[in-house]
Amino acid sequence: MEISSYLYFTRVGKKGEIETSGEPYCTICSKSILDVGIKEFVLFCKDGIRLYNTGEYNKISFDYKGK
């Protein structure tokens, strides 16, 4: 039996308000989630909730060029 694990990421502002995440860009995060075996990474974005498999998240974060 394979167990799936998810990491939910949300930003919280200085006043405690929930803020949206940007595009995946943190290579430290992407490497860490791969190392510990997390299968899916969930971000709360401006256009809704996005679900990435960790391989996809890792690739996007390493390809990120900034905006």
Q: What is the pLDDT of residues 11-62, one digit of tens each?
A: 899 999 999 888 788 888 888 888 888 889 899 888 999 999 988 988 988 8
Residue 25: Cβ-neighbour burial (10 angstroms; 0-12, 13-18, 19+): middle
pLDDT at position 13: 92
Residue 34: per-residue pLDDT: 85
Coil, strand or helix: which one is 58? helix
21 SS3 class = coil
What's the whole-model pTM score? 0.70
Residues 6+ positions from 53 with CB-CB distance below 8 Å: 39, 40, 41
Tell me the angle at which helices 54-63 and 27-35 cross, rounded to the nearest 10 degrees.
160
Q: How far is CA 28 from the centre of its chain?
A: 11
Annotated domain spans of the chain: 6-63
